[in-house]
Amino acid sequence: MILLFMLDWKMTAIMLSVIPLSMLLLWPMGAKTYKISKQTQDGMASFSADLGRVLGEVRLVKAYSGEELEKQKGISAIRHLFGLGLKEAKIQAIVTPFMTTIMMIVLVILIGYGGVRVSAGDLSAGTLVAIIIYVFQIIVPFTQLASFFTAFQKAMGATGRIQDLLKLDQEEKGTHETAVLQKELSFENISFGYSKDKPILSGITFTLQPNQSIALVGPSGGGKTTIFSLIERFYQPVSGTIKIGDKDIRSLDLRSWRKQIGYVSQDSPVMSGSIRDNICYGLEREVSDEEVAQAAIKANADAFIRKMPDGYDTEVGERGVKLSGGQRQRIAIARAILKNPSLLLLDEATSNLDSESEVLVQQALKNLMKGRTTFIIAHRLSTVVDADQILVLENGRLSGRGTHEELLACNPLYRKLAVKQLQLEEAN
């Protein structure tokens, strides 16, 4: 470009006039490409999510004869993606030939204009030849610039969602390290909601002394599992403070804090891999076979594991599909036992066990709870009557607090739950 200006600025100005002319097409085409790219990403995300849902719950699909419905949904999604691909291809099919044509027209104009100037003696033939040779060298990269512009707009559309994710707030890591053992855990006027207009918890205040157990009971959707999420710092309270000792848990090192927590959930998630991998999951030390077996024995899991084809090396499959619900539950309990946490969170930890296994696992959990601060969520009151303290959660608020006997005497909701369960047990 510098050499062209040095040779003849008039000829160079004519060549550069193609830029605003090109932008008249490229700009709207680029905007359209950006929009199509975002639609493609959304379509791919939706299709992948549906595919994962169907494959993950393929037994449900088969049981309710939903194959044809899911097939039609899949075909519709693929046709939508194919249509977006065609739109993008049409834009590419227009942009590149258009830019090439514009450059050819400019080249013809330069040759004609240059020939007139050579005839008039304003320009030497050698300079005209040099200008034309330089223009030929510019044509190819200039036409490629059009393809780059559309590709850039496509990339902008594709990475828009990634940029949104990168702008999200990260978890508060904290800096201080502390031991949970021998320190009280307290909720001070905690309020929380996933959205501002729908509070889940309101004004929750209680204190749990070290090495004691506290049970959370109440109707489904009352906020019991949300309290566990706040303790594990998956979410931050909208207002109020959660303290361990005299320190706000938000000031504690997040990794160190979670290492001291053992969590057994009601859905018992199992990772793809062997049974041994799942029991040892998250541990950053070498674990002996004897330790793994002892944890499984305490969780009443050793017997069924040894009956598996490869014992502790048996692959559990995607999301543990090769295991029953009760087996997954016992592996999750064994994982918590092996972790040996200071703070134990049990969310319906025995919900998927048969009566015989439940008795054995209850005993194992009682042994595990000794010397540990324990939170228990249970809908079956028989599993929490021995807790040091029971909290009754109703519509996100504490409606009662005390021992089993105290609540039975003075809390209407707890009494109602207890009477209803007693009647069910008698009926059974």
| Structural domain contains residue 41 | yes
pLDDT tens track for 368-387 = 777 778 888 877 776 777 78
CATH code: domain of residue 104: 1.20.1560.10
What pLDDT, on the 0 to 100 scale, is given for residue 427? Answer: 43
CA 216, CA 225: separation in Å to the nearest integer? 9
262 and 383 belong to one structural domain: yes
Catalytic residues: 348
Residue 185 has φ and ψ, to the nearest 5°, of -110, 125
What pLDDT, on the 0 to 100 scale, is given for residue 78? Answer: 93
What pLDDT, on the 0 to 100 scale, is given for residue 353? Answer: 63
Instruction: Write out the residue range of the structural domain in which residue 103 sits.
Output: 2-166
Name which of 49-53, 150-154, 240-244 the model is least confident about.
Answer: 150-154
Tell which of 166, 199, 222 closes a domain.
166
CA 237, CA 120: separation in Å to the nearest integer? 83
DSSP at 169? P
What pLDDT, on the 0 to 100 scale, is given for residue 351? Answer: 64
Return the higher-pLDDT residue of 222 and 367. Answer: 222
384 and 252 belong to one structural domain: yes
140 and 209 belong to one structural domain: no
114, 11 Cβ separation under 8 angstroms: yes
Average pLDDT over residues 156-174: 78
204 and 290 belong to one structural domain: yes
What pLDDT, on the 0 to 100 scale, is given for residue 180? Answer: 63
- Indicate the burial class of 263 (C-beta count within 10 angstroms; 0-12, 13-18, 19 or more): buried
pLDDT tens track for 276-325 = 888 888 787 788 888 888 888 887 788 888 888 888 888 877 777 777 77
Residue 79 is encoded by which pair of tokens? 């046709």
215 and 130 belong to one structural domain: no
| Structural domain contains residue 50 | yes
CA 375, CA 394: separation in Å to the nearest integer? 17
Facing residues of 204 across strands? Answer: 190
In which band, very low, low, confident or very high, does the pLDDT at 178 lie, cut at 50, 70 and 90?
low
Q: Percentages helix, strand, coil for the chain, rounded to the nearest 5?
A: 60, 15, 25
Residue 325 is encoded by which pair of tokens? 């619900």
264 and 195 belong to one structural domain: yes
| Structural domain contains residue 76 | yes
| Structural domain contains residue 174 | no
Split into its structural domains, the chain has a count of 2
pLDDT tens track for 71-106 = 999 999 999 999 999 988 888 788 778 877 887 888
Residue 370 is encoded by which pair of tokens? 């000794």
Residue 270 is encoded by which pair of tokens? 């199992």
Query: How many residues belong to the chain?
Result: 428
| Structural domain contains residue 173 | no
341 and 210 belong to one structural domain: yes
Q: Is the pLDDT of residue 266 over 50?
A: yes
259 and 194 belong to one structural domain: yes
226 and 122 belong to one structural domain: no
CA 18, CA 241: separation in Å to the nearest integer? 64
156 and 264 belong to one structural domain: no
Average pLDDT over residues 47-69: 86
Q: Is the pLDDT of residue 144 over 60?
A: yes
250 and 294 belong to one structural domain: yes
